[in-house]
Amino acid sequence: MGKEKRAGKTAKKTTSKPENVKRTRLYYSLFFLFIAILFYSNTRLNTFSVDDEYVTKNNPQIMKGIKGIPEIFTTFYVSNEGNLGEFAFDYRPLVKATYAIEFQLLKRNPEVSHVINVLLYAFTGIFLFFLLKRMLRNYHILFPFLITLLFMAHPIHSEVVNSLKNRDEMMSFLGGIIGLHYILKYAETSKWKYLGWCLFFFILGYFSKSSVISFLLIYPLALYFFSDIKPRKIWVLLGVLFVVVLIAQFGPRIFLPEVQRDYSYVENPLFFEKDFRIRTGTALMSLIWYLKLLVYPYPMVYYYGYDMIPLTGWNNVWVIFSFILYTSALAMAIYMFLKRHILSFGILFYLIAIAAFSNLVVPMVGIIGERFLYTASLGFIIVLVYLVMKAFGASPELQHIPKAKRTGVIVCITLLLIPCLWITRQRNKDWYSLHRLLTADIEHLHNSAKANTQFAGHHMRMLYYGENPDMAYDSDKDKTGLIIRHFRRSLEIYPKQYQALNDLGTVYAFMRKDYDSANHFIQQAKQMDPEKEVAFINLAFIAKSQKKYDETIRLYRHVLKLNPKKTQAWYEIAEMYKAKNLVDSAMITYGQIMQADPSSELPYLHLGDHYLLQQDTTTAVSYYEKAAEKKLNYQLSMNLYQHFYQLGDREKADYYYGMAMRAQREQQQNQPNP
């Protein structure tokens, strides 16, 4: 009987161990979920913000739902046509697919999108902890725990979590670390399926954003530090990964059209700078800015650009300091490399991850960006936590650390968490909307040419469309004064900006009716780039406002020469002919429009309106009918229905009533949810 009891007790202990492990994992998972919610729960209140329109808000591919996914996987990440030309670049289909699925299930709902971002961030933290726990199995559990905690708490990640557009960074990083998990399993077991899973998740990360490319070097680094795999095999794996990257990079080019992307000086002067000293000096300045943001993440801004990070050579004390600091860190990492010291791993992890965004390899849009620190911050935090623990005598390499020393470390980390929590939650509020973000950040962006242009342009559009959230003005002149002040500030930083010159002229022309000032700035824009039609359109508007009809016609004809697709110029020319009482010339112009754009209903509508004013109802209706056949139009079809109903032509009345109903249904189907 006694032996049976002892056996029973032994059996109970054996079966309870896996249960304890599962329970412990659950507690850790719930804790990091709690941390994500604690830091980012107020993002649920946020709406759309900067650049969200490219991939989420009102994006036509997203609004097709699941049906739009094949198109998403065969087109560019960003594709748009604006006043300053077309642009199409990058390939990140996976993140766009998540928004298409969201739209299919819940329509346009930024609250849900922000909640998903927070949950994705929580899952990243949970998976990161268990990955670090496995990699650092010979270290005290407090070490991977505090690394993960500080990673999730660091305010520098607020841009990635708050910006719906920047979900790509989270998904890319997540693909990278899941791939790291599987490649370590492959090193332990030599089972090829784990290498396959590694490549699969790496590709998923790459199709979210190419920043996962840093893991191409992080994988062999981790294999060296945390496995017994032979160096020769590491090189073979690196070769396999490199081939996969080449396929992922060049494969989509088979079906994607040519990239259309023009870089501007205010985005990064290094796109145009050839001097090696300037390029390396500015890159080192960028690197010291990144460290500053990691150590003291305030103020944080949504965009940097020229001249927030100065273009500089080696005659700058910060450049020299950056060079000494980074070379010293690299030397330390190399010195400890053969010992497989965790400090060496942390430093090299940081340097590998930040290298792609340092401007040393290629210039980065914006020069630097807080989102670019998302992966690199992990290496920085590994080093930071190690040094904090060492400072309190709590060596991470020891499996047992005295309670007093553990308490000192925990108190120190807690003191770091308090300002992190406050800064993060305050920053979350800034990301509530595009308007609030621009307003909150502009006071810190006095030297950013593009940020000042964006701020002024945003307020210009608000004023034009009659929107005025969270802003009190004394008068309309005060509104335009704010806009003009920031456009002028942008031009002070860098005078050769087509958009800022043109938009400033637009404010003077459309809002202040100060045509002399408008002409001054728009003429400068025209001289900068005579091939862009936007400045000519604005000059034509000024000429039209001053009743210079011949000049207006000449300018609009030049617009059509530059861009035949600008069919609106034809209508303006026709209007000028009518203003000059040259009706025959106007009619000829409408005929030219029909030839230039045979699918458009607009010339028929204009001709219909013309004959209706001439009281030639029969001819007007004939043109209106042709317009209705070109494009469904509810109001036009209802007008034709009423016309034929009054004439007693029930057959045509019923026909146009049916067209009106089809137009109404189509309009309702295409209407996005608020």
pLDDT tens per residue, range 86-108: 667 788 999 999 999 998 888 88
Other Cβ atoms less than 10 A from the Cβ of 167: the count is 26
Contacts for 287-293 with beta carbons within 8 Å, 24 or more apart? 287/322, 287/326, 287/354, 287/358, 288/318, 288/319, 288/321, 288/322, 288/325, 289/368, 290/354, 290/357, 290/358, 290/368, 290/372, 290/373, 290/376, 291/322, 291/325, 291/380, 293/156, 293/370, 293/373
The verdict on residue 650 lying in a domain is no
If asked whether residues 400 and 476 sit together in one domain, one would say: no
Q: Whole-angstrom Cα distance, residue 277 to residue 193?
A: 47
Terminal Cα distance for the chain, rounded: 73
The tokens for 105 are 């299930």
With cut-offs at 50, 70 and 90, classify the pLDDT of residue 304: very high
If asked whether residues 146 and 205 sit together in one domain, one would say: yes
The verdict on residue 579 lying in a domain is no
If asked whether residues 413 and 453 sit together in one domain, one would say: no
Which pLDDT does position 3 carry in this prediction? 41
Side chain identity at residue 277, one-letter code: R
If asked whether residues 423 and 454 sit together in one domain, one would say: no
If asked whether residues 153 and 81 sit together in one domain, one would say: yes
Higher pLDDT, 21 or 122: 122
With cut-offs at 50, 70 and 90, classify the pLDDT of residue 632: confident
Helix %, strand %, coil % of the chain (to 5): 70, 0, 25
Chain length of the chain: 674
User: What's the Cα-to-Cα distance from 671 to each of 91, 667, 668, rounded to whole Å?
Assistant: 28, 6, 5
Of 342-346, 492-496, 608-612, the least confident = 608-612
Of 448-462, 594-608, 617-631, the least confident = 594-608
Q: Whole-angstrom Cα distance, residue 541 to residue 522?
A: 11
Q: Last residue of some domain: 513, 532, 551?
A: 532
If asked whether residues 402 and 475 sit together in one domain, one would say: no
If asked whether residues 424 and 511 sit together in one domain, one would say: no
What would the DSSP string read from start to end of 215-278?
HHHHHHHHHHHH----HHHHHHHHHHHHHHHHHHHHGGGGTS---B----TTT-GGGT---HHH
- pLDDT at 463 exceeding the cut of 90: no
The verdict on residue 598 lying in a domain is no
* Mean pLDDT value across residues 358-377: 95
Which pLDDT does position 31 carry in this prediction? 97
With cut-offs at 50, 70 and 90, classify the pLDDT of residue 667: confident
The verdict on residue 457 lying in a domain is yes
pLDDT tens string 154-172: 999 999 999 999 999 999 9
The verdict on residue 651 lying in a domain is no
Higher pLDDT, 295 or 584: 295
If asked whether residues 213 and 330 sit together in one domain, one would say: yes
The tokens for 466 are 């009659």
With cut-offs at 50, 70 and 90, classify the pLDDT of residue 566: confident
Side chain identity at residue 143, one-letter code: F
If asked whether residues 370 and 455 sit together in one domain, one would say: no
- pLDDT at 5 exceeding the cut of 50: no
The domain in which residue 493 lies consists of 448-532
pLDDT tens string 198-234: 999 999 999 999 999 999 999 999 999 999 988 888 8
Q: Which residue, 342, 420, 338, is CA-closest to 382?
A: 342
The chain-wide mean pLDDT, for the chain, equals 90
If asked whether residues 493 and 375 sit together in one domain, one would say: no
If asked whether residues 372 and 514 sit together in one domain, one would say: no
The verdict on residue 175 lying in a domain is yes
The structure's pTM equals 0.87
Other Cβ atoms less than 10 A from the Cβ of 250: the count is 9
The verdict on residue 320 lying in a domain is yes
Which pLDDT does position 121 carry in this prediction? 98
Output b/e per residue, 529-547; b: 16+ Cβ within 10 A: beebbbbbbbbbbbbbeee
- pLDDT at 313 exceeding the cut of 70: yes
The verdict on residue 585 lying in a domain is no
Q: Domain tally for the chain?
A: 2
The single-letter DSSP state of residue 364 is P
SS3 at position 477 = helix
Q: Last residue of some domain: 479, 502, 532?
A: 532
Q: Last residue of some domain: 503, 532, 561?
A: 532
- pLDDT at 468 exceeding the cut of 60: no
If asked whether residues 77 and 187 sit together in one domain, one would say: yes
- pLDDT at 18 exceeding the cut of 80: no
User: What value does the CA radius of gyration of the chain take, rounded to a whole number of Å?
Assistant: 31
CATH number of the domain where residue 465 is located: 1.25.40.10
Q: Whole-angstrom Cα distance, residue 557 to residue 30?
A: 66
* Mean pLDDT value across residues 573-600: 88
